[in-house]
Structure 1
Amino acid sequence: MSLLDLKGVSLSFAGSKVLQDVDFNVPAGAVVSLIGPNGAGKTSLFNCITGFYKPQSGSIKVDGVETMRMKPHQVTRLGIARTFQNVRLFREMSVLENVMSGMHCRTRAGVVDAILRLPAQRREEAAIRDFSIECLRFVGIEDGWHRDAGTLPYGWQRRVEIARALATQPKLLLLDEPAAGLTAGEKQELIALIGRIRDERGVAVLLIEHDTGLVMRISERISVLDHGVMIAEGTVKEIQTNPRVIEAYLGVEEGEAELAG
């Protein structure tokens, strides 16, 4: 069964077609990669899924629920979380506060509860803090929770962003170029972390990534966008040998080498 299902999604800006009749799905519990040349429309597709962009036509369903007219926070409540190409942390807030902010969509206490510090509000705040710490430990950050997020090394900031996304308790995690700027060692740790997110948390993962070696190692299925059109979908082997995909990646010989990782 598909956790995420897109049918005929089309998006244009000022008459320029960004996505054209895109059909796409992510099964529950799967790791799926979305690849393609720069400007192919990958991040725009993420923005449509998360409610930041509103396609002119098509259908987007999460667990069978239509989300095309939902606001981003409503899509998050349904179980969609994401990270961004450029790390977007609250740099002046602590690491822990950043992750706790991800649980806002799951809170129940109201303004009055917070002002009066009622028992229900205090219990909820404690639960949020404990779960946020657990998310940080899950991504491999055991301490430094009270440091300002902007003071962390870049690789750690990436992990904090993933922890914050996990704090929303998602069914599907969207990772937008999570390996960008990471060292070779950090990329190996990222591969392991993505596997644990799927295996231990039961969360499906959809990632955009230009590191094709990483994509080929982690993906169960790969979809390829080119100029807003979905040109191929399949297993790693099927994508590596697909002529249209190879052509989209810089030409036949260079493309074959790149897709081989």
Structure 2
Amino acid sequence: MALLEVNGLQLSFGGLQVLRDISFSVEKGAIDSLIGPNGAGKTSLFNCLTGFYKPKAGSITLVGEAVAGLPPHRITALGLARTFQNIRLFKEMTVLENAMSGQHCRTHHGIVSAILHLPSQRREEEEIRSVGMRWLDFVGIRDHASRLAGGLSYGDQRRLELARALASKPELVLLDEPAAGLNEREKAELVQLIRRIRDEAGVTVLLIEHDMSLVMQVSEKIVVFDHGVKIADGTPETVRSDRKVIEAYLGTEE
């Protein structure tokens, strides 16, 4: 069953066409990747999927709901979470508070309940804290819960951003270059963590990544972009030998 369906998506800024007639789908329970040279339009596509950009044309369907043009908080509430190419944490908040913030779209009590300390509000607060700790444990940084997020190592900040995304209870998580800045040991651990997200947490994964070794290890399907156009999709073995993909990455002999 397709969890995410993109059909005929187009995006432009002024006279510059960034995405042209993009169509693909992500099946529930999959680990898929988007690849392509720098400037191919991958992050722009993520921004369309998550509501940061409004596409000029085309449709995006998430768990059967049309989401193109909806604001980010509505799309998150429907089950789509993401991490960013450049880490975006609340660095002056604790690690646990950052993880808890991912549940904002799932909370029901407002400021009045908090001021009055209603029992239902206190129960919700404890649940939010419990969920935050569970995801910190899942990604392996539970012991750092009380530290300020800005004091974490770069690799652990990556893990925290992922814990925050998972805390929103997504059906699908988008990972934007999750291996950027990681060493080889951390990349190997990331491969295992991505598989656990799907196998243990039951969350479908779609990632953008430039590390082809990681992509080939973890992906079941790969969609390839070049200059805003989809040029190939299929299994890693199919994509690896595709002539258009080879030309996009290596160029052609004049």
TM-score normalized with structure 2 length: 0.98
Q: What amino acid sits opposite 2:145 in the alignment?
A: W
Counterpart AA for 1:29? G
Q: Give, in whole Å, the separation in 1 of the partners of 2:222 and 2:252.
A: 19
Contact 2:178–2:209 under 8 Å retained in 1 = yes
Q: CA RMSD in A?
A: 0.9
Letter in 2 for 1:209: E
- Equivalent residue for 1:237? 237
Note the C-alpha offset of 1:112.
Answer: 1.5
State how far apart, in whole Å, the 1-side matches of 2:251 and 2:7 are. Answer: 30
The residue matched to 1:25 in structure 2 has which SS?
strand
Q: Distance in 2 between matches of 1:219 and 1:103?
A: 28
Paired residue for 1:258?
none
**TM-score, reference length from structure 1:** 0.96
Distance 1:56 1:128 in 2: 37
| Residue 185 of structure 1 pairs with residue 185 of structure 2 | yes
One-letter amino acid of the counterpart of residue 213, structure 2: G
Residue of structure 2 equivalent to 1:259: none
**Match for residue 96 of structure 2?**
96
Over the matched positions of the two proteins, sequence identity in percent amounts to 62
| Runs of 4+ with deviation above 6 angstroms | none
Q: What do residues 65-124 of structure 1 show as CA deviations (whole Å, max 9, x unaligned)?
A: 000131000000000000000110001000000010000000011222111010000000
Q: Which residue of 2 aligns with 1:57?
A: 57
Equivalent residue of 2:4, what SS?
strand
1:146 maps to 146
State the partner residue of 1:226.
226
In the other structure, the counterpart of 1:12 is: 12
> Are 2:197 and 1:200 equivalent residues in the alignment?
no
1:143 aligned counterpart, secondary structure: helix
Deviation at 1:251, TM superposition (A): 2.8
Q: Which residue in 1 is equivalent to 2:66?
A: 66
Letter in 2 for 1:92: E
Within 1, Cα distance between the matches of 2:2 and 2:96? 33
User: What is the rounded CA distance, in whole Å, between the counterparts of 1:106 and 1:157 in structure 2?
Assistant: 23
Any idea what SS the aligned residue of 1:22 has?
A: strand
For 1:185, the aligned partner's letter is R
Whole-Å separation in 2 of the counterparts to 1:42 and 1:66: 21
Alignment-derived partner of residue 37 in structure 1:
37
Cα shift at 1:19 = 0.1
Q: Indicate if the aligned counterparts of 2:9 and 2:19 stay in contact, CA closer than 8 A.
A: yes
In structure 1, C-alpha distance between the alignment counterparts of 2:252 and 2:154, rounded to whole Å = 35
Contact 2:55 2:69 in 1 (8 A): no
Determine the C-alpha separation between the residues in 2 that align with 1:147 and 1:201: 25
Indicate conservation of the 8 Å contact 2:53/2:69, yes or no. Answer: no
How far did residue 183 of structure 1 move?
0.7
The answer as to whether partners of 2:44 and 2:53 remain within 8 angstroms in 1 is yes
Equivalent residue number for residue 2 of structure 2: 2
SS of alignment partner, residue 137 of structure 2:
helix
Moved more, 72-81 or 61-70: 61-70
- 1:13 maps to amino acid: F
1:124 pairs with 2:124: yes
For 2:142 and 2:54, locate their aligned partners in 1 and report how far apart those are by CA, in whole Å: 39
Q: Give the 3-state SS of the residue equivalent to 1:24 in structure 2.
A: strand
* Whole-Å separation in 1 of the counterparts to 2:116 and 2:198: 40
Superimposed CA distance per residue, residues 178-219 of structure 1 (whole angstroms, 9 cap, x where no aligned partner): 000001000000000000000011110000000000000000
**Bigger mean CA offset, 35-44 vs 61-70:** 61-70
Superposed CA offset, 1:200-257 (max 9, x none): 111100000000000000000000000000000000100000000000002369xxxx
Amino acid at match of 2:241: T
Q: Which runs of 5+ in 1 are unaligned?
A: 254-261
Corresponding residue pairs, total: 253
Distance in 1 separating the partners of 2:164 and 2:185: 22
